[in-house]
Structures are given as structure tokens and as C-alpha cells.
Amino acid sequence: MELSPHLTQLFINNTYVDCLNSHKISVYNPATGDLVSDQIPVAGPDDVDQAVQAANIAFSLGSEWRQMSNVERGRILLRFADLLEANQDRLAHLTRLTLGAPYHPFGKSEIETAIGCFRYYAGWVDKFPGQSFPADDGFYKIVRNEPLGVVAGIIPWNGPLASVGLKAAPALAAGNVFILKPSEKTPLMAAELGKLVLEAGFPAGVFQVVTGDGSTGALLASHMKVAKVSFTGSIPTGKTVQILAAKSNLKRCTLELGGKSPAAVFDDADLDNAVHWCVNGLTTNSGQICFASTRVYVQEGIYDRFLTAYQAAFKAKRSVMGHPEAEGAELGPVVDKAQYERILEIIKRAESEEQGTLLIGGRPISTKGYYIEPAIFTDTKPDASIYKEEIFGPVVVVNKFKTEDEVLQRANDSRYGLMSGVFTESLNRALRISSAFDSGVVGINCISTINFSCPFGGTKESGLGRELGVNALLAYTEPKTVLINMNYKGSSQ
């Protein structure tokens, strides 16, 4: 298909420019397998240097961005949010072309997340306080939160616009300048953002977009004039980003690296509510979300009833699977052929090795496009790969438990710690388990959701640092201590 020229360019210093690096990559429509474009630029060293240089100039003392009042910076963020909202159909279409997620419910939700983030952080711009301490020791003490400078956001393919909100909004609100590097699988929406950056009134070099693959991300992570990188993706790549950051200029890192989120459903849980959250938390975006509820533990007294209702809900989801542009479609394909083949191979291996019992699903749906029927495995072995490792697809394991201690031990026995959920009518139990879960976020009678005002991130190998809330602002700033000697008797001039 023919794309607008700017969608195959880089956005550097408020200008769409051709990539200096000649290497191109291809993107495909996962709903059909058809080629969308073979002209997606891969920003190389010279391209990244140009963007970083422009960003450093934009952040330099005396620049328009540094001298801008908090009120005006907040207005620009609000204008950008309004532009996201006004252009949401176009942005959703560009994302859907190579991601395959239908607009309802996921596409709409991720756009609303981006819009909400920019509005939320626009409100913080003139309300982000420092600290002061009394001069009882002769020194009046001030702590200011100052921007880091040039920061890079390396975002994933599974929720690209939401990720822009989570990373760019707090970075810009704190006074930094931002370079966005989208996934090579979903680059088109990011390229379109340059037009909105111009219309919103960002000064040149403040918000830039460089497309590319892992090599482009590595250039940003290792660049000596980038002060921070915020990465969302796999554990192995996140570890590489941290190594590159440490080996270069010891730049700050925020790493959100996925999960294998457990949901514990107790005998006294509201069955319909538990089924609703656990099903949606697995099937949204075809299971391609970091906090998908992929491990479900059900207490033995409710296990049979839950499994019957859960299976029926999965079958209902099958009826709304279809082309992401089709009316009523809620469940689309997985992102590309590589992901499709990988997930099917995991399911096939799990069956052949008898890692658990395949209750339903796990089969290709169409001869065209990358559709996989959501799969439920039961009675999985504790060391099974489908039980232990993140699949990032529509595959869930459901297991029975007896006691609270048992489910906590099994839920926490994981290298991941992003999110967990507990379903119960007992407030005491809910609060007790929320404390005992080893995860960065816990849902009580819900799972697989976030909130703008609260920190989001994980423990263990699910990552470092937090996004959202005031925690994100702190992650994009450095505290500076100013000591004023109150005993100084020098000139008062």
C-alpha cells in the first residue's frame, strides 16, 4: 500500500527528514499477512547523533524550552493531548495496520491512556514540589528536582501510543527533552506524531521521533549525551539496555520488563466478577500485554464452577474474533508471523511434553492472517515452561489450590513480579494477601489494570523503577541540594 511520505521519514528538530542510514525494514498487516511497507527507516549512528545534538541544543541554558514558564509548558502538553484526541481515529488506524488490535476494547483504551497521561502530567507542571529544611544547624537547606536533560523512550509494539503517554508525558512535564524510538513492528503511529508535535507548539528538538530496530535502541542506550533511557520490553533486551547504559555514561534507566501475573480466586469470590476480569486480562490485545492474567489459581471449592464459566467466556470471545477493521471485532490476530509461529510452537511443545491439559483453544483460526484461538491449560506441572515463562500471547494456565499459604507460595515462585490479583469477599484476606504478594501492583477483585496517579512497575526481573504518578516525575529528575550558610556575615550587597 502507498503510505504518506512522512510515515517513512524521521522527525528530527521539528522537521521530517530522510534517514541517512540506507537500511530499511518491512512491516506487515497481521490481519492478512500483506506487506504494508518495505521502506521503514532504521536510524543509524549519524541519524541518532543528529537527534541527540538537536535535543541537547533544545535543553541548553537560555533555550526556549528552558526559559519557558511552567504555565506555558503545561499549555503545550494540554494542546498535545487535545490533538491526540482529535486525531485518535487516524492514530488508531496507523497502529492497527501493523498491530492488529481492534479499536474496541484495546485500541480505544490505549489511546485514552495516552491522552489521560498528557493531561495528568500537564497538571503537575507547576505543582511538582521540592523540599526545604529549617536552619537549626546554621544552614537553610533546599532540595530541588531538576530535569535530567536528553531522555530516550524505547517503547514496545503492543501498546505504542499508551507507552508514549507513560514515558513522554512525565519526561516533558519535568522539563526534559525527549527522543522517541518506537518498535520496528509498529512505527507508523509514532511517525505521525511529528505533525502533532509541530501543531502543539513544542520548540525544535524537544520531542523527536527516530524509527528503527534494536540497533537504533542500542545507539540511544549507549549514547554519551543521553542522560536517561526508559525501556519497555523483554527481560533479555532490558538487561542489554542496562549494560549499555552502564558502560557508556552510567545513564539512568527505567526498565519495565513484563510479567506472568497470577490471579488467586478464593471460594468466596464473586464468580462472575472473577471470570470477567480474568478473561479480559488474558484476551485483551490477544494476550499481548505485560500484565495479562496468565496464571489463574482457583480454590478447590469453586474450581469446577469457575472453570465451566471461564471456558464459556472463552468460547464467547471466539465469536468476536475477526479482522480488526470489522464491525464488532474485539479480538484480533497476534502481531506478526514470528509471534504467531512462536506461540503455536509453545502450545505444541506443551502438549507433546504433557506440561498440562489443553482444555480449549490453541489452534490457528484462519488460513490468512495470524489468528490464534485463546488457549486454556489446566493441571500444569510446576516446572512447565507454559507455567513459568511469559508467552505474550492468548495462553493461560489454570490450577487448583487448597490454602492461602499454598497459593501465595505458588504465586510468588516466579522471576516476575509485575502484577497480581486476589478475588475474595473477605477484606481482611484481601489486604493480607495484597501485602504478601511479591509484585509491584496488586488488584483486589480486579487485575490487569493501571491508574494514572499510582506507580506502575514490577519487582524482581519485571524491571527497575516506576512509571505513572509522581514516581515517574521523580524518575525523570535529579534531586539537587542547595545549602545556604545563614551564619555568613559578608556583604549584604
- What is the CATH number that goes with domain 5-257+462-480? 3.40.605.10
The residue ranges of every structural domain in the chain are: 5-257+462-480, 261-444
Contact predicate 316/347, CB 8 Å: no
Cell of 327: 464491525
**What is the mean predicted confidence (pLDDT) over 99-119?**
94
Hey, CA dihedral for 87, 92, 94, 95, is it positive or negative? Answer: positive
Confidence of residue 150 (pLDDT cuts 50, 70, 90): very high
* Chain centroid, CA 171 distance in Å: 15
Percent of the chain with pLDDT over 90: 96
- Residue 490 scores a pLDDT above 80: no
Cell of 72: 506555558
Query: CA 208 to CA 192: how far, in whole Å?
Result: 11
pLDDT digits (tens, 9 = 90+) for 111-127: 999 999 999 999 999 99
Confidence of residue 105 (pLDDT cuts 50, 70, 90): confident
pLDDT of residue 16: 98
Beta bridge partners of 477: 147
Mean pLDDT taken over the chain: 96
Q: Quote the longest CA-to-CA distance of the chain.
A: 84
**What is the mean predicted confidence (pLDDT) over 65-87?**
98
pLDDT of residue 492: 56
Confidence of residue 491 (pLDDT cuts 50, 70, 90): low
- Residue 489 scores a pLDDT above 90: no
pLDDT of residue 34: 96
Confidence of residue 1 (pLDDT cuts 50, 70, 90): low
Query: What is the architecture of the domain spanning 261-444?
Result: 3-Layer(aba) Sandwich (3.40)
pLDDT of residue 269: 98
Query: CA 418 to CA 103: how far, in whole Å?
Result: 26
Residue 12: HSE in the Cβ half-sphere, 13 Å Cα cutoff: 21
**What is the mean predicted confidence (pLDDT) over 363-370?**
90
**What is the mean predicted confidence (pLDDT) over 291-308?**
98
Among 110, 184, 192, 256, the active-site one is: 256
pLDDT of residue 455: 97
Could you tell me the CA-to-CA distances from 125 to 69, 77, 223, 481 in Å, in that order? 10, 9, 28, 20
Residue 256 is among the residues annotated as catalytic for this protein: yes
pLDDT of residue 488: 87
- Residue 192 scores a pLDDT above 90: yes
Q: Which helix (H) or strand (E) holds 78?
A: helix 70-86
pLDDT digits (tens, 9 = 90+) for 367-411: 799 999 999 999 999 999 999 999 999 999 999 999 999 999 999
Which amino acid makes up residue 347? I
pLDDT of residue 202: 98
- Residue 250 scores a pLDDT above 90: yes
- Residue 493 scores a pLDDT above 80: no
Confidence of residue 2 (pLDDT cuts 50, 70, 90): confident
CB atoms within 10 A of CB 221: 26
Beta bridge partners of 298: 265, 400
Percent of the chain with pLDDT over 70: 99
